[in-house]
Copies of this chain bind each other. A is one copy, B any other.
Amino acid sequence: MEIISHEKPPGLFARMWLYLKSLPEKSKANVVEVVNKVIKLGKDDPRRITHSIKVGLALTMVSIFYYYQPLYDNFGVSAMWAVMTVVVVFEFSVGATLGKGLNRGLATLVAGGLGVGAHHLASLSGEIGEPILLGFFVFIQAAASTFIRFFPTIKARYDYGLLIFILTFSLISVSGFRDDEILELAHKRLSTVIIGGSACIIISILICPVWAGQDLHNLIATNLEKLGKFLEGFGNEYFKTLEDGESSNKDEKSFMQEYKSALNSKSREESLANFARWEPGHGRFQFRHPWQRYLKIGNLTRQCAYRIDALNGYLNTEIQAAPEIKSKIQEACTEMSLESGRALKELTLAIKKTSQQPITSADTHIKNAKSAAKNLNTLLKSGIWEDCDLLTVVPVATVASLLIDVVNCTEKVAESAYELASAANFESIDSAVSTEKPRSGQCGAEKSNADCPHVVITVSELTPAAAMADRSLKA
């Protein structure tokens, strides 16, 4: 085949041959790529592999049950409902599985009862009236249930239940069997659904359980940590870039990546909180753990992340403010950024360890950040910049202002973390110490600072922006 490498353009046959020759290589490359993707997917979260095995196990168990003749004779075709239940109900987390299982079981029970009633009613109305009445019943319940599914609160928690309600009611009411047969059908369907659902729930809880509550807990903590990382690095990054040039570009990009995932985690947080409500007590979480408070922290975290996104715009851009201006506020800004970053990391620790102690350390860091803001305040008042071109001051002033916003946001996050810690009974260091120092509600943004000796200045004297964040959250 050396001919082809000459200048002459290759003919059709030669091209086909080349294509065929490259085929095994190409498909090998494709296979390698897919295998790499599979490995990455498994490595990113090994629970995915366990989950797949658990589903296989549950399904095999129930299938064998379906297959064996003695059992089959007992339940008949209805036994397949057990298989269906497993396939449809088994979800990744225990909460989702429990929610779906209970929804399915309850909806089957209620719809089965109503379906039998509807069927009986219709059968009383004679041969002509029966199909008309049955059709009418099915239409009314399907339309009504479908409409109810649009209610946001019902959609979040009982959507699947309503689906199964429509399904079971229609199946049972129009099944065309005699009354005694229909009761048997309803009974069989219910028992097989319970068998399938129980298999899912038992396997889901006993073998390497995946708790949605734990995931929500970790997600909230991780998002806070990511913001903390950004803030800890931001001061150095912003004030160093001119000296170090492009060298720090790579690090900065990894910061960007990390905090960005916090910007769009709202829907994930909400669905995890919905699943977590179904879960029994596990590990450090009790049955009625205050999951809603996590959502509040999540919302405040996002408020902070929006400010950080704006800050991020001032990092590593080609045009920078003059270094002499930057150097004047460097200390105060770096301190503010670093201390709020540390505060967020302490809050992360508090959530991760379910301990109140790091919240106290976070308070200290917030206090430091605030006194840095006060220093900045004094610095600005002293008029040290009067000889500078105002044009070059604007970007630096914006960064300072956004940082002050971030400090305020951090304080709000700390406040809501404290509320969570109280509501969820995080372990306190020493109850005597914790009662000595009242915190929740008294040191909030809208409250007087007189009760809180650790709050040195009101940052909002300088920038009132973050005060809006709270209001807008409630809106």
Q: Which residues from chain A sit less than 8 Å from chain B, CB to CB?
A: 37-38, 41-42, 48-49, 51-53, 55-57, 59-60, 63-64, 66-69, 72, 77, 80, 83-84, 87-88, 131, 134-135, 138-140, 142-144, 146-147, 150-151, 163, 166-167, 170-171, 173-176, 253, 256-257, 260, 263-264, 266-267, 302-303, 306-307, 309-310, 312-320, 377, 380-381, 383, 385-386, 389-391, 393-395, 397-398, 400-402, 405, 460-469, 472, 475
Tell me if B319 and A171 are in contact (CB < 8 A).
Answer: no
This chain: copies in complex: 2
7 smallest CB-CB distances across A and B, nearest first, come from A313-B465, A317-B464, A56-B143, A398-B401, A52-B147, A56-B139, A56-B142
Question: In the complex, how many angstroms separate the beta carbon of A412 from the nearest chain B beta carbon?
Answer: 12
State in angstroms the CA–CA spacing of A293 and B185 once bound together.
51
**Which chain B residue lies CB-closest to A316?**
B468
State in angstroms the CA–CA spacing of A469 and B66 once bound together.
57
Question: In the complex, how many angstroms separate the beta carbon of A34 from the nearest chain B beta carbon?
Answer: 10
In terms of DSSP, what is the predominant structure of the interface of chain A? Answer: helix
Tell me if B391 and A402 are in contact (CB < 8 A).
Answer: no
Of the candidates B66, B139, B266, B312, the one whose C-beta lies within 8 Å of that of A468 is B312
B residues within 8 A CB of A264?
A: 264, 266-267
Please judge, given known A-B contacts A67-B134, A69-B176, A393-B397, whether A472 and B60 are in contact too, CB under 8 Å.
no
State in angstroms the CA–CA spacing of A167 and B393 once bound together.
65
Tell me if A468 and B315 are in contact (CB < 8 A).
Answer: yes
A-B contact pairs, 20 of them (CB 8 A): A37-B151, A52-B146, A55-B166, A63-B135, A66-B175, A67-B176, A77-B77, A83-B167, A84-B167, A87-B142, A87-B163, A87-B166, A256-B472, A267-B267, A306-B309, A316-B468, A381-B391, A386-B386, A386-B390, A394-B401
Tell me if B139 and A57 are in contact (CB < 8 A).
Answer: yes
Q: Which of A176, A320, A398 has the most CB of B within 10 A?
A: A398
**Which chain B residue lies CB-closest to A377?**
B391
**Which chain B residue lies CB-closest to A468?**
B313
**Which chain B residue lies CB-closest to A78?**
B77
**Which chain B residue lies CB-closest to A386?**
B386
